[in-house]
Amino acid sequence: MTDPSPRTAVVTGASSGIGAATARSLAAEGFHVICAARRLDRLVSLAREIGGTAVQCDVTSVASVAELARTAGDRIHVLVNNAGGAFGQDTVADADPADWRRMFETNVLGTLHAFQALLPALRAGGDGLVVNIGSTAGYVSYEGGAGYTAAKHGVRTLTETMRLEHVSEPLRFTEIAPGMVRTDEFALTRYSGDATRAEAVYEGVREPLTAHDVAEAVAWVATRPAHVDVDLMVLRPRAQAAQHKLHRET
């Protein structure tokens, strides 16, 4: 007999942007999605829309992530570590260590906390998949971005090490590394709410990636056969040939 219950996915940072879009895409593929983030009001609305479950969670807190694991239950099939972000764009000489600490705690330690807490449930699922949302910043450094690139390099090597350490188990590990993605909040957060600076990031760029583009990539990976491990997927808009090569129309 087959198990009639739906497969379960946990998505962190699900209150907006790539996380919310990923929750919708996985729900469309038949997953019951546990939507986790700090802003509960947004999660409740999203969970109601997709028939999922809303869980308030701060991935930088071990206790909060432990509560997420209790809510998720004994068995899950997909964990999408999406919670993260960039804060500031100062040079190394002028950087605020507090911004760097926030980026490391959300992008790297948040991924670690969620994986450790949910690993038993992923093992119990029989073919667990971990998708870590990295960035092309995890592969190429650029001026003014050392704190963020250091954090995303951390996500990159964390994903690779997970795969090495669990190769004997029926677990899969994927990094999705997007280039320029236009969301409602990423650039605004980076520039502390300065809408002018945030808008300038995308000025002249025809069709940056959207959150939905990244979410579709996650859903595709999550629906591959259990023996297929997509190690890495790099996504860029057509206008972005590399981290420093971006075509802007005037």
Residue at 243 is within a domain: no
Decide if 248 is inside a domain: no
Domain total of the chain? 1
Residue 115 counted as domain residue: yes
Helical axes 40-50 vs 17-28, angle rounded to 10°: 20
Measured CA distances, 95 to 92, 137, 151 (Å) = 5, 17, 14
Active site residue 148: yes
Residues 6+ apart with CB under 8 A from 77: 7, 8, 9, 31, 122, 125, 126, 127, 128, 129
Evaluate whether 249 touches 162 at the Cβ level (below 8 Å): no
Which CATH number characterizes residue 97's domain?
Answer: 3.40.50.720
Catalytic residue among 139, 148, 191, 202: 148
Has residue 2 been placed in a domain?
no
Q: Is residue 52 part of a domain?
A: yes
- How high is the pLDDT of residue 47? 98
Say what the pLDDT of residue 4 is. 57
pTM above 0.75, yes or no: yes
Half-sphere exposure for 248 (CA within 13 Å, toward CB): 9
Position 3 in a domain: no
Q: How far is CA 162 from the centre of its chain?
A: 16
Q: What is the pLDDT of residues 202-225, one digit of tens each?
A: 899 999 999 999 999 999 999 999
Does residue 247 lie in a domain region? no
Which residues form the domain of 24? 8-237
